[in-house]
């Protein structure tokens, strides 16, 4: 087998590696799956979108198998992960990617059930996925990647549920990394800014466009989904601690303490005040399609 390049003393060969991906039928998950299969990996595709899952499974052929799952349901996750492990004879890597954007609403105005749904899918769904896959991944000294967001590190008015869930994913990943070090399992965290996916386009159309409008123009342009898929595959190869896209993301992550000092200035911003006012006045439907981050 041809090995990938050495990184921190660790080599990872994608040929015949079994990778389980949630939120696999669309967006970042689907792009990652295509790249992995092209590199010789075998991929378990987990998603609740049956039609998209069937299409992608057919497209990828014998290198992939689809499993219907709802990451908000622990029993569904356990069953799908178990079925995937039986189908492929084990699991080397798990990519906990499934997520939704949720509504663009202030804390005072958001429907509590919609807020809780974001946490259920984006944070607890990651926990359920990793927990179910952990015995298989640990057995092989494998790799876990959880998908966070730049919103874990920056103030995010009117999308607090999404930001809170992604901050939770980051904290979960960091804790997991320490817990699994002795077992030879490495843990990576993916941080994404604006990625051109169906979820982002749907979120913009349903209200998040007003949130993005307050950002500098250089941060508003989405990167192609190919960029996100490429860095996840590279992260699996290198068993990396952190991957990201677009390129500005690590700078914002490293400056998060400095950026937090600007919160009082943001609170006095006229544009932010208009955003908050709008997000608190009219209902905006949640984008509940489980696709990617």
Say which of 162, 191, 244, 248 is annotated catalytic.
162
In the residue annotation, 162 being an active-site residue is answered as yes
Sign of torsion over alpha carbons 135, 174, 146, 288: positive
Question: Over the chain, what HEC string results?
Answer: CCCCCCECCECCCCCCCEEEEECCCCHHHHHHHHHHHHCCCEEEEEECCHHHHHHHHHHHHHHEEEEECCCCCHHHHHHHHHHHHHHHCCCCEEEECCCCCCCCCCCCCCCHHHHHHHHHHHHHHHHHHHHHHHHHHHHCCCEEEEECCHHHCCCCCCCHHHHHHHHHHHHHHHHHHHHHHHHCCEEEEEEECCEECHHHHHHHHHHHHHHHCCCCHHHHCCEEHHHHHHHHHHHHHHCCCEEEECCCHHHHHHCHHHHHCCHHHHHCCHHHHHHHHHHHHCCCCCCCCCCCC
Residue 253: phi and psi, rounded to 5, are -65, -45
Residues noted as catalytic: 162
């Amino acid at each position: 087998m041809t090995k990938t390049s050495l990184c921190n003393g660790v080599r990872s060969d994608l040929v015949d590696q079994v990778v389980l991906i949630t939120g696999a039928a669309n967006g970042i998950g689907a792009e990652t799956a295509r790249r992995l299969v092209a590199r010789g990996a075998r991929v378990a595709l987990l998603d609740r979108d049956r039609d998209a899952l069937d299409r992608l499974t057919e497209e990828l052929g014998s290198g992939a198998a689809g499993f219907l799952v709802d990451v908000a349901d622990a029993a569904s996750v356990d069953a799908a992960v178990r079925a995937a492990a039986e189908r492929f004879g084990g699991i080397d890597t798990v990519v906990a990617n499934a997520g939704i954007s949720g509504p663009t609403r202030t804390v005072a105005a958001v429907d509590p059930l919609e807020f809780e749904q974001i946490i259920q899918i984006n944070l607890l769904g990651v926990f359920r996925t990793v927990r179910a896959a952990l015995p298989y991944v640990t057995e092989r000294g494998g790799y876990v990647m959880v998908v966070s967001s730049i919103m874990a590190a920056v103030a995010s008015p009117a999308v607090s549920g999404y930001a809170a869930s992604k901050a939770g994913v980051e904290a979960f990943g960091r804790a997991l990394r320490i817990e699994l070090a002795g077992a030879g399992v490495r843990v990576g965290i993916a941080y994404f800014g604006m990625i051109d996916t169906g979820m982002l386009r749907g979120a913009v159309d349903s209200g998040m466009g007003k949130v993005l409008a307050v950002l500098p123009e250089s941060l508003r342009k989405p990167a192609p989904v190919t960029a996100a898929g490429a860095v996840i595959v590279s992260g699996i190869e290198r068993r990396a601690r952190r991957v990201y896209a677009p390129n500005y993301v690590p700078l914002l992550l490293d400056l998060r303490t400095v950026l937090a000092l600007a919160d009082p200035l943001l609170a006095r911003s006229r544009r932010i005040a208009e955003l908050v006012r709008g997000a608190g006045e009219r209902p905006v439907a949640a984008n509940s399609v489980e696709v990617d981050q």
